Amino acid sequence: MKKAIESILKGIGEDPARQGLKDTPKRVEESLKFLTSGYEVDVDALIGEALFDVSYDEMVLVKDISFYSLCEHHMIPFFGVCHIAYIPDGKVVGLSKIPRLVDAFARRLQVQERLTVQIAETINNRVKPKGVAVVMEGRHLCMAMRGVEKETSTAVTSSMVGNFKADKRTRSEFLNLINRPNIS
């Protein structure tokens, strides 16, 4: 990978041997390995045994989960917040597993639409709740820094499953909760 990055530096007219760029290929390699570390995550193992029998049947919501990802079209970052809710059907998942799941999928080359669906499908398949809702709000640097150069635009994607898709009241409650100010 370092040789490829050196070649890219030469291709844009830089001297990879100059002082400020001498260690850049190594740093970029380390950075890319971290930013794409989600490929190494076994999502089933991530959730593992963190499923607990609980007789709770109201919405569980974790909102404002920050995420960072790389656009698969340009390998330029996009970032934002993710809101996830589910309605348990006898089981709840450990709360810390939800942001970890977001990171596992975000740390891959992605499009926001697929990322949103992957999170919803995984929670639906592993937790088996009555419904799942995922809304992601992302700022895409490939739209802000290049192309249309619209630095204030935000992309919003959603995936609704089960009760959230079938019941407008449940979906509305979720959307109202994610738009409320935080308690902090």
Catalytic residues: 71-74, 112, 140, 142
Give the span between the Cα atoms of 24 and 2, in whole angstroms: 9
In eight-state DSSP terms, residue 35 is H
The token duo for 113 is: 């639409």
Q: b or e along 45-54 (b: 16 or more beta carbons within 10 Å of the residue's beta carbon)? A: eebeeebeee
Helix, strand, coil abundance in the chain, percent, nearest 5: 45, 25, 30
| End-to-end CA, the chain | 43
CA atoms 136, 140, 144, 147: torsion sign: negative
User: From CA 73, how far away is CA 142, in angstroms rounded?
Assistant: 9
Instruction: Tokens for 118, please give them.
Output: 């992957």
Between CA 127 and CA 160 the distance in angstroms is 15
